[in-house]
Amino acid sequence: MIKAVIFDLDGVIVDTAHYHYVAWQRLAKELGISFTEKENERLKGVSRMHSLEIILEIGGVTLSQAKKEELATKKNSWFVEYIEAIRPEEIFKGVKEMLQELRTQGFRVALASSSKNAETVLRLLQIKNMFDAVVDGTMIKNSKPDPEIFLLAASKLGVSPDVCVVFEDAEAGVEAALAAGMKCVGVGSADQLGKAHAIVKSTADFPISKLNSL
């Protein structure tokens, strides 16, 4: 019996995944590295530094730790600039209603994002109070595909992993959910998210009534 639902943030609740991509592409361009939208799928759900390392690997570039820190900070300052104007109206269609309905039906609801900017995004969207627990990139050692973030979310909710369903748009996120022993709904395309128990185009397309048949 499913008792809890855990949501990723970027790309599941709001289209901030796009701003991450635009900022990384800007950085890649500065470094003379060609970086496509397909390659960007590898960055979804993984930490800021790991994302940079993937881009450097694509470009065959080796840099010192200090230089990498500088570039990661630069990308983040662009990302923060891009999301400054985000408004509650940008929450994906039907998601707010879904969060409300889940709680009305007695499910525990958590947010689990690898991002260190998750608090800022939740504040701008004015939805922090819709979650019983929030876990973000500042609270974990290992980001997705490691299951740490989802296990921490389950423990904060006071439930065991096998009664949790995760909504994820990242391949690394689906892997993390499965490694945590949870059910997973992929939000996006089967090309990247084929391992998920179900796939929907948009988060709210998944009916709450089907959570127990995954």
User: Which residues are catalytic, by number?
Assistant: 8, 10
User: Under the criterion CB under 5 A, does residue 186 sit at the interface with Mg ion?
Assistant: no
C-beta of 59 vs 205, nearer to Mg ion: 205
DSSP string over 160-211: -GGGEEEEESSHHHHHHHHHTT-EEEEES-HHHHTTSSEEESSGGGS-GGGG
C-beta of 161 vs 192, nearer to Mg ion: 192
**Residue 75 CB, nearest approach to Mg ion (Å):** 16
- Please tell me the distance from the alpha carbon of residue 47 to that of residue 25, in angstroms, as a whole number: 16
Q: Which stretch binds ligand BG6 (CB under 6 A): 92-100, 109-117, 157-165, 184-192?
A: 109-117
C-beta of 4 vs 192, nearer to Mg ion: 192
Half-sphere exposure of 200 (CA within 13 A, CB side): 17
User: Under the criterion CB under 6 A, does residue 115 sit at the interface with ligand BG6?
Assistant: yes
- Nearest alpha carbon to residue 50 among 154, 176, 158, 201: 176
**Residue 136 CB, nearest approach to ligand BG6 (Å):** 8
State the virtual CA torsion across 10, 14, 17, 18 in degrees, nearest 10: -170
Among positions 160-179, residues that touch Mg ion (CB under 5 A) are 169-170
Report the interface residues with ligand BG6, using CB under 6 A: 9-10, 17, 20, 43-48, 51, 76, 113-117, 137, 170
